[in-house]
């Protein structure tokens, strides 16, 4: 027996050595070593009663086997009847005769079309766990919920859970190009291998669907919003169909982006005018073709008249004209149009901050009812910190869908540890005052403010071909958080972090607490060393890697960092008050109040809304210049502190992932120093004030920082 054990330990060691590439994400199903917990779980789910042979049932059966095997070292028995020991009964009232006898009609009604019921019952002395829903997809969500309880070592004997998603479309937007490059991708290349589709279904597609389903994501836009019409040709629709077929059993619908000028490019028409009957017919035919391949195709995500993309305004038509053309063609198939509000024009001299509002508010009420307008969380562009978009609360007749960026374009890309749930929550918890105090952005997004049924939240994906999917192991948490918040935006960032950490690393409290702290402060740290006090969009040109606040020579004024920070001899910041661009006027007075008075403005957004004199006294008592120095220096120091925290967690993490994070934290520290020095040296040319001598002075010149070039930076 001793040999056995030795050999076993060998295998376990080997397992640890090899398996922790990060590929498994939060679905590692690590062995549960606490004997009491293990016994309790094993007894409670000794058998599973799950009728049916639908693809979803098969998936549930496979996932439960894999998970229980991993966590408990045994596969539950799949049976037709509950045993004496605990049973898990899964099904819908129509697929499972047992479920229909469980007397849970009220609960099922509450769960609705997309929710699930997960409750414990004792019947005839038998411990039953019931997982029920009105349709098959929510059963998957319920199963993953139950597994999450096990994975995070929660009790499962007295469950009383009815869970329904707070948004209807919970989506990832992939900015993946057809050549497999990924715009703003920092984790390798596109996981969609168009060349080997449709014949080759990569295991990765399946594991992607598993991961998405496990957090409730039910839609995916496969291709970049800067679209290529080729995706709509028959050759490629056949490939898209193969992915849709693979994702369907996981409850995930496929969406595509539509290039507005496709009728010209692949349809050989002379125009793409949305009011042209030929154009309308072309799209009707094309959409019919799409549905012939993919009967449950989700619809189109469209970026039009934005950053050079074609759109209805090319024909003097409105965004509503454009969106409605698609909406009419999609409606017979129950497809939706997701129309992006991310528009600004170099011909419009007005503050870029204001232009989406100006363009879209007049269109409220003019969109068909299968149109959602997808609004980025802020009015500029996914900045490290950004006030919520003024469009939230300003288009009551139109369902507004949230667009978050999961990929860290402006938050350190793949090298920085930045947990984004606090960023997402900060926006969702923002009070628009649209219907008075308490009109949170979340109430616009979940439809409750205006009784919209069609609702949604999307995240620009951070997924690529890197073995660990996301480049940085901690970036996986942002994919996870997006899904969890799309399901339930009332979850706290802390809880999401805890769940993710427990499943991804370990539930050991000596790990959980400090690791959670590390995550919780991480996004603020990035803000602090790169864009503190409301600074924004001062990143490197094109690739957005590192600082370049000095850039002023790009063809469009609003592409230049100097447009945003407006540093001069008197001060720094963008005056968006009534004496400036008055972008503030687009917010409701209650919301505006937080920001409009220079002396009362929350300091984290100060330079977003005000041009502030260098010697302005901050709440700290420091002058603005000194505060800026303080922020940059403290931010960089914080990264060093994060490194120390991580070092102390070495014992809890496998060597491979530990080293991954350790190396990236070191890169982050070097980048923080770079941000700090480059920005302060540059802003100093305006403030004409010294960096306080108590700080270590920059060891390189501004010219050095200006000379840096990154011709092969990723994601560009």
Choosing from 53, 124, 569, 712, the residue that interacts with its own copies (CB under 8 A) is: 712
Cβ pair 216, 141 in contact under 8 A: yes
Closest distance of CB 75 from its own copies, Å: 7
666 binds its own copies (CB under 8 A): yes
267 binds its own copies (CB under 8 A): no
Cβ pair 508, 652 in contact under 8 A: yes
Choosing from 18, 288, 334, 644, the residue that interacts with its own copies (CB under 8 A) is: 18
Judged by beta carbon, residue 200 or residue 510, the one nearer its own copies is 200
List 265, 307, 637, 654, catalytic entry: 307
Closest distance of CB 176 from its own copies, Å: 12
The closest alpha carbon to 298, from 270, 334, 268, belongs to: 334
Collapsing DSSP to helix, strand or coil, 313 comes out as helix
List 381, 386, 466, 596, catalytic entry: 381
Q: C-alpha dihedral over 123, 128, 132, 138, to 10 degrees?
A: 170
Task: Please give the structure tokens belonging to residue 85.
Answer: 């020991």
Span of 178-186, 444-452, 589-597, 689-697 interacting with its own copies by CB under 8 A: 178-186
The closest alpha carbon to 669, from 535, 549, 522, belongs to: 522
Judged by beta carbon, residue 25 or residue 363, the one nearer its own copies is 25
- x/- binding map, residues 466-485, to its own copies, per CB under 8 A? xx------------------
User: Strand 116-123 and strand 126-133: pairing?
Assistant: antiparallel
Closest distance of CB 23 from its own copies, Å: 7
Closest distance of CB 107 from its own copies, Å: 33
403 in active site: no
Task: Please give the structure tokens belonging to residue 552.
Answer: 């002023």
409 in active site: yes
Task: Please give the structure tokens belonging to residue 705.
Answer: 């920082």
Helix (H) or strand (E) holding 257: strand 253-257
- Rg of the chain over Cα atoms, rounded to whole angstroms, equals 26
Judged by beta carbon, residue 446 or residue 660, the one nearer its own copies is 660
Judged by beta carbon, residue 11 or residue 79, the one nearer its own copies is 11
Choosing from 201, 264, 361, 491, the residue that interacts with its own copies (CB under 8 A) is: 201
Q: Map the footprint of its own copies across residues 439-468, applying CB under 8 A.
A: 465-467
Measured at the alpha carbon of residue 31, what is the angle toward residues 70 and 15, in degrees to the nearest 5? Answer: 75
- Distance in angstroms (rounded) separating the CA atoms of residues 399 and 389: 15
9 binds its own copies (CB under 8 A): yes
Measured at the alpha carbon of residue 353, what is the angle toward residues 349 and 355, in degrees to the nearest 5? Answer: 60
- Distance in angstroms (rounded) separating the CA atoms of residues 338 and 233: 21
**Dihedral sign from CA coordinates of 389, 394, 396, 397:** negative
The closest alpha carbon to 306, from 273, 355, 265, belongs to: 355
Closest distance of CB 366 from its own copies, Å: 38
- Distance in angstroms (rounded) separating the CA atoms of residues 199 and 204: 14
Choosing from 78, 100, 121, 189, the residue that interacts with its own copies (CB under 8 A) is: 189
7 binds its own copies (CB under 8 A): yes
| Phi, psi of 613, deg, nearest 5 | -65, 145
Q: How many CA atoms lie within 13 A of 268 on its CB side?
A: 1
Closest distance of CB 656 from its own copies, Å: 6
43 binds its own copies (CB under 8 A): no
Count of residues near its own copies by CB under 8 A: 61
179 binds its own copies (CB under 8 A): yes
Closest distance of CB 634 from its own copies, Å: 23
199 binds its own copies (CB under 8 A): yes
Judged by beta carbon, residue 191 or residue 373, the one nearer its own copies is 191
Cα 364 vs. chain centroid, distance in angstroms? 26
Span of 63-71, 168-176, 278-286, 627-635 interacting with its own copies by CB under 8 A: 63-71
1 binds its own copies (CB under 8 A): yes
Cβ pair 513, 158 in contact under 8 A: no
The closest alpha carbon to 421, from 490, 324, 333, belongs to: 490
204 binds its own copies (CB under 8 A): yes
Cβ pair 227, 258 in contact under 8 A: yes
Choosing from 34, 54, 55, 74, the residue that interacts with its own copies (CB under 8 A) is: 74
Closest distance of CB 149 from its own copies, Å: 19
Closest distance of CB 395 from its own copies, Å: 38
- Distance in angstroms (rounded) separating the CA atoms of residues 667 and 419: 17
Helix (H) or strand (E) holding 162: strand 160-163
195 binds its own copies (CB under 8 A): yes
Helix residue ranges, H only, 489-558: 493-504, 509-530
Choosing from 70, 86, 412, 447, the residue that interacts with its own copies (CB under 8 A) is: 70
Span of 2-10, 351-359, 490-498, 687-695 interacting with its own copies by CB under 8 A: 2-10
User: What does the DSSP assignment read for 685-713?
Assistant: HHH--PPPTTSPPPSS-HHHHHH---TT-
The closest alpha carbon to 376, from 384, 388, 361, belongs to: 388
Task: Please give the structure tokens belonging to residue 595.
Answer: 């920001």
Cβ pair 151, 29 in contact under 8 A: yes
- Distance in angstroms (rounded) separating the CA atoms of residues 301 and 595: 33
Judged by beta carbon, residue 8 or residue 651, the one nearer its own copies is 8
381 in active site: yes
Choosing from 95, 415, 504, 631, the residue that interacts with its own copies (CB under 8 A) is: 415
- x/- binding map, residues 618-657, to its own copies, per CB under 8 A? --------------------------------------x-
Burial 123-147 (b: 16+ CB within 10 A, else e): eeeebbbbbbbbbbbbbbbbbbbbb
Choosing from 121, 135, 153, 180, the residue that interacts with its own copies (CB under 8 A) is: 180
Closest distance of CB 52 from its own copies, Å: 22
24 binds its own copies (CB under 8 A): yes
72 binds its own copies (CB under 8 A): yes
86 binds its own copies (CB under 8 A): no
Choosing from 52, 82, 86, 188, the residue that interacts with its own copies (CB under 8 A) is: 188
User: Strand 400-405 and strand 456-460: pairing?
Assistant: parallel
Judged by beta carbon, residue 188 or residue 422, the one nearer its own copies is 188
Task: Please give the structure tokens belonging to residue 41.
Answer: 């779980």
Q: Map the footprint of its own copies across residues 214-233, applying CB under 8 A.
A: 230
Span of 283-291, 574-582, 661-669, 680-688 interacting with its own copies by CB under 8 A: 661-669
604 binds its own copies (CB under 8 A): no
Residues forming contacts to its own copies in the complex (CB under 8 A) are 1, 3-15, 17-19, 21, 23-24, 29, 31, 66, 69-70, 72-75, 178-180, 188-189, 194-196, 199-201, 203-204, 230, 414-415, 465-467, 656, 659-660, 663-664, 666-667, 670, 710-714
Task: List active site positions.
Answer: 307, 381, 409
């Amino acid at each position: 027996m001793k040999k056995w054990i030795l050999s076993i330990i060998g295998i376990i060691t080997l397992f640890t050595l090899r398996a922790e590439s990060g590929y498994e994400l939060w679905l590692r199903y690590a062995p549960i070593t606490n004997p009491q917990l293990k016994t309790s779980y094993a007894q409670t789910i000794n058998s599973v009663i799950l009728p049916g042979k639908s693809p979803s049932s098969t998936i549930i059966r496979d996932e439960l086997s894999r998970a229980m095997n991993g966590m408990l070292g045994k596969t539950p028995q799949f049976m037709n009847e509950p045993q004496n020991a605990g049973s898990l009964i899964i099904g819908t009232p129509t697929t499972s005769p047992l479920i229909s006898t469980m007397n849970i009609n009220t609960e099922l009604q509450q769960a609705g079309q997309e929710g699930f019921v997960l409750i414990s019952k004792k019947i005839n002395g038998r411990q039953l766990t019931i997982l029920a829903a009105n349709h098959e997809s929510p059963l998957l969500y319920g199963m993953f919920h139950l597994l999450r309880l096990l994975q995070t070592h929660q009790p499962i004997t007295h469950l009383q859970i009815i869970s329904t998603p707070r948004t209807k479309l919970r989506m990832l937007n992939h900015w993946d190009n057809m050549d497999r490059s990924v715009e703003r991708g920092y984790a390798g290349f596109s996981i969609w291998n168009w060349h080997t589709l449709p014949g080759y279904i990569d295991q990765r597609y399946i594991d992607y669907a598993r991961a998405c389903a496990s957090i409730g994501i039910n839609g995916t836009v496969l291709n970049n919003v800067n679209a290529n019409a080729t995706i709509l040709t028959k050759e490629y629709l056949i490939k898209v169909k193969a992915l849709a077929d693979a994702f369907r059993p996981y409850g995930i619908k496929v969406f595509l982006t539509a290039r507005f000028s496709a009728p010209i490019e692949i349809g050989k028409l002379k125009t793409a005018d949305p009011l042209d009957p030929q154009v309308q017919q072309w799209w009707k035919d094309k959409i019919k073709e799409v549905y012939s391949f993919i009967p449950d195709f989700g619809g189109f995500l469209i970026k039009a008249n934005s950053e050079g993309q074609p759109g209805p305004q090319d024909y003097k038509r409105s965004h509503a004209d454009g969106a409605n053309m698609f909406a009419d063609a999609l409606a017979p198939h129950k497809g939706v149009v997701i129309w992006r509000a991310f528009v600004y024009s170099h011909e419009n001299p007005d503050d870029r901050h204001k232009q989406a509002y100006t363009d879209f508010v007049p269109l409220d009420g003019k969109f068909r009812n299968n149109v959602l307008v997808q609004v980025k969380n802020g009015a500029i562009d996914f900045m490290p910190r950004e006030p919520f978009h003024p469009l939230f609360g300003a288009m009551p007749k139109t369902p507004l869908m949230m667009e978050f960026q999961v990929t860290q374009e402006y938050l350190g890309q793949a090298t920085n540890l930045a947990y984004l749930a606090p960023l997402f929550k900060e926006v969702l918890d923002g009070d628009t005052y649209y219907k008075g105090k308490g009109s949170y952005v979340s109430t616009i997004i979940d439809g409750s403010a205006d009784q919209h049924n069609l609702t949604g939240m999307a995240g620009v994906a951070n997924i690529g071909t890197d073995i660990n999917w996301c480049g940085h192991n901690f970036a996986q948490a942002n994919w996870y958080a997006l899904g969890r918040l799309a399901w339930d935006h009332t979850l706290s960032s802390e809880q999401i972090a805890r769940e993710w950490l427990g499943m991804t690393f370990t539930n050991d409290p000596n790990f959980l607490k400090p690791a959670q702290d590390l995550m919780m402060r991480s996004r603020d740290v990035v803000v602090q060393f790169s864009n503190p006090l409301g600074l924004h969009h001062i990143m490197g040109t094109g690739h957005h890697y590192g600082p370049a606040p000095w850039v002023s020579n790009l063809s469009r004024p609003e592409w230049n960092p100097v447009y945003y920070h407006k540093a001069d001899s008197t001060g720094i910041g963008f005056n968006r008050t009534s004496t400036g661009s008055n972008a503030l006027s687009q917010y409701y007075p209650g919301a505006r109040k937080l920001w409009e008075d220079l002396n009362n403005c929350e300091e984290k957004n100060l330079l977003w809304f005000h041009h502030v004199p260098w010697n302005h006294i901050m709440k700290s008592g420091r002058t603005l210049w000194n505060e800026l120095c303080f922020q940059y220096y403290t931010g960089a120091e914080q990264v060093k502190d994060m490194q120390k925290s991580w070092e102390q967690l070495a014992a809890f993490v496998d060597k491979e992932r530990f080293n991954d994070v350790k190396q990236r934290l070191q890169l982050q520290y070097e980048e923080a120093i770079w941000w700090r020095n480059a920005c302060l040296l540059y802003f100093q040319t305006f403030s004409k004030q010294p960096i306080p001598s108590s700080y270590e002075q920059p060891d390189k010149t501004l010219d050095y920082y200006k000379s840096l070039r990154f011709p092969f930076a990723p994601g560009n």
